[in-house]
Amino acid sequence: MPGHPKSSHAYLAIDQGTTSSRAILFNQHFEILFTAQQEFPQYYPDNGWVEQDPEELWQSVLNVTTQALQAAKEQQLEVKHLGITNQRETILVWHRQTGKPVYNAIVWQDRRTSAYCRALSKHEASVQQKTGLKLDPYFSASKVRWILDNVEGAAEQAANNQLLFGTVDTFLIWKLTQGLVHATDVTNASRTSLFNIKTLEWDEALLALFDIPRTMLPEVKDCAADFGKTAAGLLPLELSISGVAGDQQAAMIGQGCVTPGSVKATYGTGCFALVNTGTNSDINHTGLLTTIAYTLNGVTHYAVEGSIFVAGAAVQWLRDGLGLIEKAADSEAIASQVSDNHGLVVVPAFTGLGAPHWAPDARGAIFGITRATTANDIVRATLESICFQTHDLLSAMSSGGISPTVLKVDGGMVANEWFCQYLADTLDAPVVRPQIMETTALGAALLAAFQAGDITGLTALATANPCQREFAADTPDSLREKHLAKWQKAVKATLLMAE
pLDDT given at position 192: 96
365 backbone dihedrals φ, ψ, rounded to 5°: -150, 155
What gap in Å lies between CA 34 and CA 23, rounded to an integer?
8
What gap in Å lies between CA 490 and CA 231, rounded to an integer?
53
pLDDT given at position 6: 45
Residue 2 predicted with pLDDT over 50: no
pLDDT digits (tens, 9 = 90+) for 122-168: 999 999 999 999 898 989 999 999 999 999 999 999 999 999 999 99
pLDDT digits (tens, 9 = 90+) for 329-364: 888 888 888 887 778 999 998 888 877 887 878 899
- Angle at Cα 298 formed by Cα 296 and Cα 304, nearest 5°? 60
Categorize the per-residue pLDDT at 386 as very low, low, confident or very high, splitting at 50, 70 and 90: very high
Number of H helices and E strands in the chain, helices first, is 16, 22
% pLDDT > 70, the chain: 97
Residue 235 predicted with pLDDT over 60: yes
Categorize the per-residue pLDDT at 325 as very low, low, confident or very high, splitting at 50, 70 and 90: confident
DSSP-derived secondary structure letter, 31? -
What gap in Å lies between CA 498 and CA 347, rounded to an integer?
13
384 Cβ contact partners less than 8 Å away, ≥ 6 residues apart: 341, 345, 346, 422, 426, 483
Categorize the per-residue pLDDT at 295 as very low, low, confident or very high, splitting at 50, 70 and 90: very high
Whether 231 contacts 217, CB under 8 Å: no
The stretch 469-489 carries a mean pLDDT of 91
pLDDT digits (tens, 9 = 90+) for 33-49: 999 999 999 999 998 89
The residue type at 442: L
pLDDT given at position 336: 86
Q: What is the overall mean pLDDT for the chain? A: 90
pLDDT digits (tens, 9 = 90+) for 246-265: 999 999 999 989 888 888 99
Whether 426 contacts 480, CB under 8 Å: yes
What gap in Å lies between CA 303 and CA 252, rounded to an integer?
10
The stretch 78-95 carries a mean pLDDT of 96
Residue 402 predicted with pLDDT over 80: no
Pairing of strands 263-267, 407-410: parallel
pLDDT digits (tens, 9 = 90+) for 17-32: 988 999 999 998 899 9
The pTM for the full model equals 0.85
Report, in this order, helix, strand and coil percent for the chain, each rounded to 5: 35, 25, 40
Residue 365: closest CA among 484, 271, 490:
490
What gap in Å lies between CA 258 and CA 239, rounded to an integer?
27
Whether 430 contacts 406, CB under 8 Å: yes
Residue 165 CA neighbour count, 13 Å, CB half: 31
CA 437, distance to chain mean position in Å, is 15
342 backbone dihedrals φ, ψ, rounded to 5°: 55, 35
Peptide bond into 45 cis (omega under 30): no
Q: Which of 166-170, 214-218, 436-440, 464-468 has the lowest mean pLDDT?
A: 464-468
pLDDT digits (tens, 9 = 90+) for 104-113: 999 998 989 9
pLDDT digits (tens, 9 = 90+) for 182-221: 999 999 999 999 999 999 999 999 999 999 999 999 999 9
What gap in Å lies between CA 137 and CA 113, rounded to an integer?
5
Range 8-244 classified under CATH 3.30.420.40: yes
CA 187, distance to chain mean position in Å, is 11
The stretch 424-442 carries a mean pLDDT of 92
Rg (CA), the chain: 22
